[in-house]
Amino acid sequence: MKRRRFLQVAGAAGAGLAAGCSSGSTDRLLPYVTPPEDIVPGIPTFYASTCRECPAGCGIHVKTREARAIKVEGNPAHPVSRGRLCARGQASLQGLYDPDRIRGPFRHTARGLEPVTWDAAIAQLAEALGAAAASGPDRVALVTGADSGALDGFYDEWLRAFRSTRRLRYETFAYEPLREASRLAFGVASVPEFDFASARYLLSFGADFLETWISPVQYTREFAEAHGFRDGGMARFVAVEPRRGLTAFNADEWIAPRPGTEGLLALALAASVVRQGRAHLVGAEADRVRGFLGRFGTQSVAEATGVDEAVVDRLAREFTAAQPSLAVGGGVAHQHRAATQTAVAVHLLNYVAGNVGRTVRFQTGRALDKLSRYSDATALVTAMAGGKVDVALVHDANPAFTLPRAAGFADAFRKVGLKVAFASHFDETAALCDLILPDHTPLEQWGALETVAGTRSFVQPAMTPVFDTRQTADVLAAVAQKAGKRVAAGAASARDLVAKGLAPAALEQTLQHGGQFGPAQQRSVYLVSDFARMAYQPPAFDGDAAGPVLVVYPSASLFDGRGANKGWLQELPDVATKIAWQSWIEVHPDTARALGLGTGDVVTVTSPHGSVEAPVHVYPGVRRDVVAMPIGQGHREYGRTAKGRGVNPLDLLGADATDASGALAFCSTHVKIQKTGRSVQLASTEGSARQLGRGVARAVSLAAARQGEVEEGPEATITDAERTAIAAAAASQRQRAYIGEYAKPQPKWEMTVDLSRCTGCSACMTACYAENNIPVVGEEQTVRHRGMAWIRLERYFEGDTSGTDWQVRQIPMLCQQCENAPCEPVCPVYASYHTPDGLNGQVYNRCVGTRYCANNCPYKVRYFNWWDYGTVGDPYFAFSEPLNWQLNPDVTVRTKGVMEKCTFCIQRIRFAQNDAKVRGRELVDGEITPACVQTCPADAFVFGDAHDPDSRVSRSKADARGYNVFDMLNARPGITYLERVIRGEGA
Amino acid sequence: MATIATPVPASAPEPTYAETNRDVIATLRPPGRKYFAGMAFILVGLAFGAFCWGYQLRYGLGVTGYTPPIFWGTYITTFVFWVGIAHSGTLISAILLLFRSGWRTAVYRTAEAMTVFAVMTAGLFPVLHLGRAWYAYWVFPYPNFRGVWSNFRSPLVWDVFAISTYLTVSSTFLLMGLIPDVAAVRDQAAGWRRKLYGLVSFGWKGSDREWRHFGKMYLYLAGFATPLVLSVHSVVSWDFAMAIVPGWHATIFAPYFVAGAIFSGCGMVITILVPLRKAFHLERYIQVRHFESLAKVCLLTASIVAYAYATEFFMAWYSGNPFERASFYNRAFGQYWWATWIMLTCNAFIPQLLWFRKVRTSIRALFVISIFINIGMWFERFVIIVTGLSHEYEPWQWSYYLPRWPELGILIGSFCWFSMWFLLFIKFFPAVAIAEVKEALPAPVRAGGHR
Amino acid sequence: MKRTIATIAGMVLLGSAAALAGVSLVKGQAAPAAVREIQMDTGLGPLPAAGGAGYSSLTGVQPGGPWPALPRRLKGPVQPIFYRHDIHAGQYRIPCLYCHNNAANSWTANIPSLSTCMGCHLITSAPDSAGNPNPEITKLRDSYTKGESVQWARVYKIPEYAHFPHMRHVAAGLACQTCHGNIQQMPRVFAAVNVNSMGWCTSCHMQRGVTRDCTRCHF
């Protein structure tokens, strides 16, 4: 099935229509001239590739129908993603079909922007390069993203051909402190491989490893493995950071030290470990370590960090008692001037706890290790400003946006003779360039990445390019040729580079597989002898110390802002604050009260380096002396969705605020907050942050869970008499209901959601958007609660949020497919009805739009088409060309005035059933996976036939933690939630 | 009930049959400038309402203020409001007829007309509020060979039948009652009008036989209509009571709504009669005692409604059901406190003034109070529908709704639509039942009559 | 009093009579269609399980000999190339699935690619008595050599909210003609059946007692 051939899509578009699929209506049918052998109209074809939305490099399968990519899913064979994918990966499709993509090569002239032919552009570039090379060494600069493998080597070679070494592998989040710390502590300047799965105790010093840190999908999967409740056991997770984000939501305990003191706390923990004689150290090393750590008495640390010494000792005890344990640090949000020391301290803590080599492993060669540092970027800026660069080429990076404005990239860049952008959008950097040579998006590209040691992950085009674009490497090769240089043995294209050294058959086979996934060879490391010279000094902060410290954190959905033009990601509520489409500043309730601020009040945030305006979001997840802002919004250029939306907190940062590793200190300044008097409505999906004992999202302590005890919901108020009465009524009702078609042996599709695995990452939401043609409604409609996401992540605060001792309950809420559904009897036209296989069917073309069903749905999972999102030409049309190419032909695009909802991806159910019937085979348990189930990195969902006693869902339903939301309504939901388990102190 | 009818006070000398004919039929004289001005104003309002609906049809229901999970708002509120208004008509003409209460004669024609037009107005809203109004006919069980049918378990389908039945019966009742009066008009009219009225009066001659049949048929229809008064609004109330929304799912809804309906209906009758009476100088026919009786009905039903409010709140607390409690707490002190307190003030507190005879007999006071009643009853439905939905089971999905201009436009349009029909009616048909008023008068004595 | 009741009763009777008439009227429309389609099935005789399904049933047309004469009036949209099903499917008895092969294994039947046509028409050009190749086939060959597709006019289009699994119906042994009419007798294809009327689908599903669950087709 998963064959790949480079497609000749002659009339493929037509073929889509010839197949009569619902991607559009026409009165003309265009058959193929010669049918490509791997396309059967109406049957999807999958191509294995690699996700390029962040440096993690997850393996993906691109689902194509009639030669168009319509869905991206994880590649089960891939070691990083193991078949799962995050929201950003799911949204890569919108990058492919973004209507704002540059549709051909352009040139900036005095007259403004004008189209140019590829040949002309290449000639111009070649000429300029030749001149630059002739005029001296290092006159050419090439900025790329986190590239690795064949192409990466090619770029260097190419650059050398023009006598230059000015290469910048630029990533906004390059983990310099972590790499530097590894060098300082172990002599290996590398990002270690963390094994969350086997850790029994997790300590995170501000690493948001469930959101953006290094490899979120992999870590989410492993974290769920470790922290999910299974056979009476689970790992304990303690988060140590001044701001509580999604990652810390999943922590069993949250400790909020003063910003900048995480490292000190880590050292104190290590010291305490040693003092308690729990250190896994021997001989001279032990003495040296003891000597070094002796300086960090709990007393002084307690004062500095604001964390009680008792707590420190307890954590140290727990951390070493559980074996193996794992401490991670070095998240971007808390990357301050002492970031490297923090990372060293965390390494040290792992070392004394004996985790290094077990849960912290060093491997040879990892793409991240080769990334340029922030200081390299600033060095390039200086060079450009000094007129040392004649030609600058930027590819797969947007430094004009992701470098702090104070770094003065734009001004320096303008001084360069010829500026070339290999960009997909007119983003901040491309807008400054003279030549814009649009690059393929990753789904149209060739590549072979070596993101993780041992793996060679291939990138291959899933379809012919949407626009007149060319892959950068191809262009560079052509330029070299034009300039008469021979690069990479005359390789003409990225494909050649990728295919090099592989026989056609082998290449074919590898591409089908998605890459070559060998074992990574380990590298044993020891503490360098002179680590003791490392002194700990608390980080400095700019600005007036009276004001709160500004924490700037990467957005889980927009990453460093590259996702800002994707409607799906803009509309995806922030995983922590649940705000979409906007920028905001998080302020602690007490601080807000002191300043007389309420949620929605617009404030001016001023630092010594600049000032921005943003609405306040009163949020208990930050310390009183901390405010936080997400990176990602505030684009001055870029596409229609991103442009002029929100603010960029990087404008508040000083350019020279770096740490020992030369990394930008994202957490480096105090800010002043002033009321503007204006106020806006935040586009938040949150109705109430408290569930008020309604038992929507439930949790139970580990001890109780071991006893099989569970948290009771409001149904506990029902007396036993009532309970039996209800049961009897339900039984008789069922007897009466199951007649005719309904009496035949039918499957009953059900789902379980394990809340002890679900991290709230919201990948399921975007997957649902992609699979079910859900329209993006925009900011104004989101403010009015009119978002259409069929599945949503509800986030409730539990406990007293004035301190740090409170819990977060998260629950994915989607149609519960009730057996006794309140929505069904009220529909006057049977648009909402019960299917024989136990779903709440929703027949869009029968719906007249009384909305009675939505009123009567206690779970509020029905969504109404207020506007005409599906009709071309309507002001609210949500799929403007070519976004409509992505529409799933198996799912009806809903028109205005009809109700829609989740039906467990019924198109997938029917597809599998038809396939099984035609092939005369039985359906296999697990064969059918709804989009949300398929993508869930935490594997929290189980879907299947509840009538089959051996199915996974039947077994997982039987779990003692299982409960139905609002059980007392007797709607008999088809979704069983398994209570979250919280492992408290000592447990 | 019968006690409501008070003995005729020895006021101004009784009009004679002739005078009655003259005065009442005077209302049918060619309208003056004022009338046309009013009509023009109304038509403008109606046009605006129509525009709003067109706008909504073009762009979708997004133009309204609906904020999920509040999927019903002004439209359903106004629908229930008009259905409620429609009730006093049948009450006064049918039930009071069966109770033989004399005071109805002067007012029942107006009330009946009001009923018919109110139902005609109410009937628009279920269609107006649909997402795909052009498929509204799908709710009717019509023969088709796609094998699809309408869902008889759905209260909305019950509505369809309840409303259409009520419209049929009440209009039949109205036209029935008109026959003798229209005949009287016919006798004074000339030209095409004579023909028209001749047609509508079915060539009525006023013979004993006709009167006998008329009486029987009228009585029969009255009996037929009476249960409807109770059933129709009960059915409408089940739109809510049958749902599981906290604040809707209550057993008292049927009686509670019926009482409310009659309350609002009588309120509206007063609101209409006062200006009508003044404009056409019908003081001698629509007398203060009539108003007083209406006021008494209002007082009674107002008290019932107030009691219902109390019961709702009490039961919410007494049930111990956390969702009910939250819903009603929110109703009184939540975001919608203002609506709730408007409702309570207008429906429960202000009508208590009617205990005082002075107030009951002061037309001006009654008029003002009746206005309050109308407002209050509209808000009652708003409170039930909107606050209920705004604060349901799922805390994550709580939100706040306010109507937007298209909704208000259509609301205004509906009042104009109603008034338009009413204005037309009073210019074409006698607004007071001539024949029945005459019944209440002493028979004329001819000179030299036999003793 | 009596009379009144009588009148009302009368009206009620009238009403219901009308309704009944309506029903029977609709039934009346449905019946012939159903019957036709039954005959077509039985006309096929016993069908081989997999392969046989989807073969054209051959009523009236003899193989070989002169081509069937064209009727005076041709129904259906004019096509860029005058392809005659009555010759290919009718006279030469080419199985439907030979060209529309996807119908057996996909939700959607395909329009055959030009290469499929050329499979035969590389060899035969159906020359006339004078030996000049048939102009229609020349058109085909030209566009094939040019590598251009042919823009056929669409005959059948199911609304996008209905999904029709061709392979299920082929596997069930239904003749293509059941829905597409007597293709093998059509010089130019026209919509013999209004596939957009759901009644067409349901009547057949009712007769065969197969599912009428809405979400089998609507999702």
**Using a CB-CB distance cutoff of 8 angstroms, which residues of chain A are in contact with residue B239?**
852
Question: Which tokens hold the place of B13?
Answer: 């000398």
To probe the interface with B, which of C2, C3, C4, C25 has the most B CB atoms within 10 Å?
C4
Of C1, C23, C199, the CB nearest to B146: C199
Of A686, A876, A899, the CB nearest to B396: A686
pLDDT of residue C54: 42
Candidates B42, B6, B92; CA nearest to B267 is B92
Please, which residues have CB within 8 angstroms of residue B137's CB and are 6 or more apart in sequence?
A: none
Q: Kindly tell me if the per-residue pLDDT of A718 is higher than 80.
A: no
Q: Subunits that touch chain C (at least 3 Cβ pairs < 8 angstroms)?
A: A, B
3-state secondary structure of B188: helix
CB-based contact, A912 to chain C, within 8 Å: no
Of A690, A717, A864, the CB nearest to B395: A690
Candidates A902, A790, A216; CA nearest to A557 is A216
Please, which residues have CB within 8 angstroms of residue A416's CB and are 6 or more apart in sequence?
A: A141, A384, A389, A390, A391, A392
Task: Count CB neighbours of A39 within 10 A.
Answer: 24
CB contact (8 A) between residue A854 and residue B66: no
Candidates A888, A602, A615, A605; CA nearest to A770 is A888
| Contact by Cβ (8 Å): A87, A572 | yes
pLDDT of residue B445: 56
Question: Which tokens hold the place of A6?
Answer: 């480079």
What is the least distance, in Å, from the CA of A462 to any CA of chain C? 21
CB-based contact, A914 to chain C, within 8 Å: yes
Residue C58, φ and ψ in degrees, nearest 5: -105, 90
DSSP code, position B383: I
The full length of chain C comes to 219
pLDDT of residue B196: 87
Q: Which residue of A has its CA nearest to B238?
A: A826
Of B72, B149, B244, the CB nearest to A969: B244
Question: Which tokens hold the place of A432?
Answer: 């400054």
What is the least distance, in Å, from the CA of C90 to any CA of chain A? 23
Report d(CA A922, CA A708) in Å as an integer.
36
pLDDT of residue B441: 67
First-to-final CA distance of chain A: 49
3-state secondary structure of A236: strand
Candidates B273, B237, B257, B215; CA nearest to B92 is B273
What is the least distance, in Å, from the CA of C139 to any CA of chain A? 14
Mean pLDDT of A167-195: 91
Of B146, B216, B220, the CB nearest to C198: B146
What is the least distance, in Å, from the CA of A947 to any CA of chain C? 19
| pLDDT tens track for C13-61 | 444 444 444 333 333 333 333 333 333 333 333 333 333 334 444 444 4
Which residue do the tokens 């929605």 mark? Answer: A600
Of A847, A850, A864, the CB nearest to B156: A850
Peptide bond into C71 cis (omega under 30): no
Peptide bond into A882 cis (omega under 30): yes
Question: Which tokens hold the place of A203?
Answer: 């300590």
pLDDT of residue A532: 65
Mean residue pLDDT of chain A comes to 89
pLDDT of residue A739: 79
pLDDT of residue A567: 94
Task: Count CB neighbours of A255 within 10 A.
Answer: 25
CB contact (8 A) between residue A688 and residue B395: yes
Which residue do the tokens 């009923």 mark? Answer: B115
CB-based contact, B217 to chain C, within 8 Å: yes
| pLDDT tens track for A807-826 | 999 999 999 999 889 999 99
Q: Which helix (H) or strand (E) holds A63?
A: strand A59-65
Report d(CA A942, CA A920) in Å as an integer.
26
3-state secondary structure of B111: helix
Candidates A410, A424, A534; CA nearest to A472 is A424
**Using a CB-CB distance cutoff of 8 angstroms, which residues of chain C are in contact with residue A914?**
107, 165, 167-168
Candidates B447, B442, B440; CA nearest to B102 is B440
CB contact (8 A) between residue C30 and residue B217: no
- The ipTM, to two decimals, is 0.87
Q: How confident is the model at residue C91 (pLDDT cuts 50, 70, 90)?
A: confident
pLDDT of residue C30: 33
Q: Which residue of C has its CA nearest to B141?
A: C19
Of B142, B146, B217, the CB nearest to C202: B146
CB-based contact, C161 to chain A, within 8 Å: yes
Q: Kindly tell me if the per-residue pLDDT of A21 is higher than 60.
A: no
| Contact by Cβ (8 Å): A62, A69 | yes
Distances (CA, A) of A292 to A276, A340, A532: 16, 17, 6
3-state secondary structure of A110: coil
Chains B, C: CB contacts within 8 A come to: 27
Report d(CA A571, CA A582) in Å as an integer.
10
What is the least distance, in Å, from the CA of A879 to any CA of chain B? 17
CB contact (8 A) between residue A43 and residue C105: yes
Report d(CA A797, CA A807) in Å as an integer.
6
Candidates C167, C124, C123, C118; CA nearest to C145 is C118
| Contact by Cβ (8 Å): A122, A478 | yes
CB contact (8 A) between residue A845 and residue C163: no
Please, which residues have CB within 8 angstroms of residue A727's CB and are 6 or more apart in sequence?
A: none
pLDDT of residue C65: 64
Q: What is the b/e burial string over A164-199, where b = at least 16 CB atoms within 10 angstroms of the residue's CB? A: bebbbbbbbbbbbbbbbbbbbbbebbbbbbbbbbeb
CB contact (8 A) between residue B146 and residue C29: no
Please tell me which residue, A576 or A284, carries the higher pLDDT value.
A576
3-state secondary structure of A699: strand
| Contact by Cβ (8 Å): A816, A861 | yes
| DSSP state string for C3-48 | HHHHHHHHHHHHHHHHHHHHHHHHHHHHHHHHHHHHHHHHHT-SPP
Of A31, A891, A910, the CB nearest to C216: A910
Residues 401-430 of B with CB under 8 A from A: none
Of B145, B217, B220, the CB nearest to C26: B145
Report d(CA A326, CA A209) in Å as an integer.
13
Please, which residues have CB within 8 angstroms of residue B319's CB and are 6 or more apart in sequence?
A: B325
Please tell me which residue, A951 or A7, carries the higher pLDDT value.
A951
Mean pLDDT of A920-946: 93
Of A29, A32, A841, the CB nearest to C215: A841
Q: Subunits that touch chain B (at least 3 Cβ pairs < 8 angstroms)?
A: A, C
Report d(CA B185, CA B425) in Å as an integer.
14
| pLDDT tens track for A342-387 | 999 999 999 999 999 899 999 877 888 899 999 999 999 999 999 9
Q: What is the b/e burial string over B62-86, where b = at least 16 CB atoms within 10 angstroms of the residue's CB? A: bbbbbbbbbbbbbbbbbbbbbbbbb
Residues 135-154 of B with CB under 8 A from C: 142-147
CB contact (8 A) between residue B389 and residue A855: yes
Residue C57, φ and ψ in degrees, nearest 5: -85, 135
Query: pLDDT truncated to tens, each residue of chain B (451 aa)?
Result: 333 434 444 445 667 777 777 777 777 778 888 889 999 999 999 999 999 999 999 999 999 999 999 999 999 999 999 999 998 778 887 887 887 777 777 788 888 899 999 999 999 999 999 999 999 999 998 888 888 889 999 999 999 999 999 999 999 988 888 888 888 888 888 888 888 888 888 888 888 899 899 889 888 888 888 888 888 999 999 999 999 999 999 999 999 999 999 999 989 989 988 998 888 888 888 888 888 988 999 999 999 999 999 999 999 999 888 899 999 999 999 999 999 999 999 999 999 999 999 999 999 999 999 999 999 999 999 999 999 999 999 999 999 999 999 999 999 999 999 999 999 998 888 877 777 777 766 665 555 444 4
What is the least distance, in Å, from the CA of B219 to any CA of chain C? 10
pLDDT of residue A666: 92
Chains A, C: CB contacts within 8 A come to: 134
To probe the interface with A, which of B134, B396, B398, B402 has the most A CB atoms within 10 Å?
B396
CB-based contact, A36 to chain C, within 8 Å: no
What is the least distance, in Å, from the CA of A601 to any CA of chain B? 19
CB contact (8 A) between residue A867 and residue B59: yes
Please, which residues have CB within 8 angstroms of residue C45's CB and are 6 or more apart in sequence?
A: none
Give C137-144 contacts, CB < 8 A, sequence gap 24+.
Answer: C139/C80, C139/C81, C140/C81, C140/C114, C143/A33, C143/C114, C144/A33, C144/C114, C144/C115, C144/C117, C144/C118
Q: Which residue of B has its CA nearest to C206?
A: B147
Report d(CA A650, CA A406) in Å as an integer.
9
Mean pLDDT of A25-29: 68
Q: Subunits that touch chain A (at least 3 Cβ pairs < 8 angstroms)?
A: B, C
Least confident residue range of A129-133, A287-291, A576-580, A963-967: A287-291
CB-based contact, A31 to chain C, within 8 Å: yes
CB contact (8 A) between residue A918 and residue C148: no
**Using a CB-CB distance cutoff of 8 angstroms, which residues of chain A are in contact with residue B129?**
850
What is the least distance, in Å, from the CA of B214 to any CA of chain C? 10
Report d(CA A19, CA A43) in Å as an integer.
10
DSSP code, position A198: T
CB-based contact, B132 to chain A, within 8 Å: yes
